[in-house]
Amino acid sequence: MRIITHSCPACGTVVAANELESNRVMKCPGLGCEAVLRFEDLSEDAREHFLDNRERYRI
Ligand SMILES: [Zn+2]
C-alpha cells in the first residue's frame, strides 16, 4: 500500500494523510512549529489516491 504523507514546509515534520483528512486543517505537530497544514496541501494525485482508497487507510 502506498503511504501518503505530507511534510511541513516550515520544519519538515511528516504528517500522515489520514490525519490531515480527518482534521482538514491542523496545526503542525512539530515542536514549536506554528505552521498550519491542510489536506489540500497534498498533491492532487495524492489526494485522489487517498480518497479512492480511504477504507484501506482506516486502521
Ligand atoms: Zn512544522
Per-block mean pLDDT, blocks of 10 residues, the chain (59 long)? 91 95 95 96 94 84
Residue 45's pLDDT is: 95
Residue 2's pLDDT is: 82
Residue 6's pLDDT is: 96
Residue 57's pLDDT is: 80
State which residues form the domain around 19. Answer: 5-57
Residue 32's pLDDT is: 96
The rounded Å distance from CA 47 to ligand 1 centre is: 20
The rounded Å distance from CA 26 to ligand 1 centre is: 10
Torsion of CA 33, 36, 18, 41, to 10 degrees: -120
* Count of domains forming the chain: 1
The rounded Å distance from CA 31 to ligand 1 centre is: 8
The rounded Å distance from CA 24 to ligand 1 centre is: 16
What is the grid cell recorded at 17?
494523510
